[in-house]
């Protein structure tokens, strides 16, 4: 009784996965097959549990056997030819999402300036992450449905006209460009370190030359400025040593962009950027709405615009560098 129970359970484990109309037929056929196999072992009348186990083991796992009865199924989430188009659409949607969110952040930054840049950057990264994740989920879901229901996406009637272009050889960055960049970085750093107070003299008729910038502010900016110069030099050296679009070159470039962004932020939002002499001497009512040295630069719309453009440029440059590096690295490994 118990042995029969195993056979029936085995058959049920298979038949329940089959279409209703073929279940009974298949079950009956399998029952006879098992009986035939037991008979072959000379154990048809009183099969021992051992015999039954041997026969069922030979037939294999119920899931696998049931799978063989089912018509060839679409057994992955997204297969060809949909997968190829899925990858393309996913790249475009992700890039557009990240770009859109970054632009939105820039607009927010310039319209509602904050002193706490780090918190803003953290929020930005989080928003990019969750936005990217949502874009990924939606595109994947849509293409999984397309694949499952075999929605035709392209008939490829004329595939010859749609052959991909051969990838361009990534040009090596020009060595001269990097060497000149390096020299200027070093000179600038030396000037900043050697001269006690690097400053920009401005001529006023009644006061003579007075310093444009606040020495206190410059001093407080020194670590950031030096770090930025050091990273800039490091970037030039990496570009010289490695190929352009290598991962190390990208990392130094990104770090450079972050430091430059922080510097720009500090310059534009500091309330004491200009020297007190300059604030006192500057009287130009005709530009009061655009420029007032006693207020941070980003209080005027012009300052907001310049800061926004600077940060936006850095973000675009960084994203483009990331994309180029990913492409170069994946081509190299392909």
Partner 1 sequence: MQSKEALLAGFVTEMRRGAIALAVLSRLSEPGYGYQLVRDLAVGGVPVEANTLYPLLRRLEEQALLRSDWDMREGKPRKYYQRTETGTEVYERWRAEWKQFSVSFNSLLEDNHEVK
For position 19 contacting partner 1 by CB under 8 A, the verdict is no
Report helix, strand and coil shares of the chain as percent, to nearest 5: 70, 5, 25
Candidates 4, 5, 24, 29: give the one binding partner 1 (CB under 8 A): 29
For position 58 contacting partner 1 by CB under 8 A, the verdict is yes
Candidates 30, 234, 254, 297: give the one binding partner 1 (CB under 8 A): 30
Q: Could you give the string, one character per residue 99-138, with x where binding to partner 1 holds by CB under 8 A and - elsewhere?
A: ----------------------------------------
For position 17 contacting partner 1 by CB under 8 A, the verdict is no
Q: Look at residue 185 and give its three-state secondary structure.
A: helix
Q: With contacts defined by CB under 8 A, name the span among 26-34, 97-105, 156-164, 194-202 that binds partner 1.
A: 26-34
Candidates 8, 49, 64, 331: give the one binding partner 1 (CB under 8 A): 64
Q: Could you give the string, one character per residue 224-263, with x where binding to partner 1 holds by CB under 8 A and - elsewhere?
A: ----------------------------------------
197 contact partners, CB below 8 Å, separation of at least 6: 211, 215, 218
For position 174 contacting partner 1 by CB under 8 A, the verdict is no
d(C-alpha 259, C-alpha 227), whole Å: 8
> How many contiguous H segments (helices) and E segments (strands) does the chain have?
11, 2
Q: Cβ of residue 26: shortest distance to partner 1, in angstroms?
A: 7
Q: Cβ of residue 18: shortest distance to partner 1, in angstroms?
A: 9
The tokens for 8 are: 């029936």
d(C-alpha 159, C-alpha 198), whole Å: 63
Give strand pairing partners of 144.
Answer: none
Q: What is the DSSP letter of 272?
A: T
Maximal CA-CA distance, the chain: 122
For position 48 contacting partner 1 by CB under 8 A, the verdict is no
Candidates 4, 6, 8, 22: give the one binding partner 1 (CB under 8 A): 22
- Cis geometry, peptide bond prior to residue 176 (ω within 30 degrees of 0): no
d(C-alpha 251, C-alpha 235), whole Å: 8
Element (H, E) at 210: strand 208-211
Q: Cβ of residue 38: shortest distance to partner 1, in angstroms?
A: 11
Q: Cβ of residue 40: shortest distance to partner 1, in angstroms?
A: 8
For position 54 contacting partner 1 by CB under 8 A, the verdict is no
Element (H, E) at 229: helix 215-241
Tell me which residues touch partner 1 (CB under 8 A).
22, 25-26, 28-30, 32-33, 35-37, 58-60, 64-65, 68-69, 71
């Amino acid at each position: 009784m118990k042995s029969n129970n195993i056979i029936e359970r085995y058959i049920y484990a298979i038949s329940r996965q089959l279409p209703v109309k073929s279940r009974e037929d298949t079950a009956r056929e399998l029952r006879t097959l098992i009986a035939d196999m037991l008979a072959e072992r000379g154990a048809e009348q009183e099969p021992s549990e051992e015999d039954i186990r041997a026969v069922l083991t030979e037939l294999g796992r119920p899931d696998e056997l049931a799978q063989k009865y089912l018509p060839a199924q679409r057994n992955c989430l997204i297969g060809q030819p949909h997968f190829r188009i899925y990858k393309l659409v996913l790249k475009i949607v992700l890039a557009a999402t990240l770009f859109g969110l970054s632009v939105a952040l820039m607009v927010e930054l310039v319209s509602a300036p904050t002193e706490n840049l780090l918190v803003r950057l953290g929020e930005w990264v989080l928003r990019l992450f969750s936005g990217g994740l949502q874009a990924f989920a939606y595109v994947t879901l849509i293409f999984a449905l397309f694949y499952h229901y075999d929605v035709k996406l392209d008939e490829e009637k004329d595939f010859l006209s749609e052959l991909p272009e051969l990838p361009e050889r990534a040009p090596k960055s020009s060595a001269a460009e990097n060497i000149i960049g390096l020299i200027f970085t070093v000179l600038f750093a030396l000037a900043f370190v050697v001269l006690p107070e690097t400053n920009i003299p401005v001529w006023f008729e009644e006061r003579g030359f007075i310093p444009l910038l606040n020495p206190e502010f410059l001093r407080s900016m020194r670590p950031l400025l030096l770090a930025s110069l050091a990273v800039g030099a490091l970037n030039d050296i990496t570009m010289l040593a490695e190929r352009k679009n290598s991962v190390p070159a990208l990392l130094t470039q990104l770090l450079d962009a972050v430091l430059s962004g922080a510097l720009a932020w500090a310059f534009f939002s500091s309330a004491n950027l200009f020297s007190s002499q300059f604030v006192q001497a500057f009287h130009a009512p005709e530009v009061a709405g655009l420029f007032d040295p006693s207020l941070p630069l980003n209080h005027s719309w012009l300052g907001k615009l310049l800061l926004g453009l600077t940060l936006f440029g850095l973000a675009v440059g960084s994203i483009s560098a990331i994309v180029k590096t990913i492409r170069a690295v994946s081509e190299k490994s392909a």
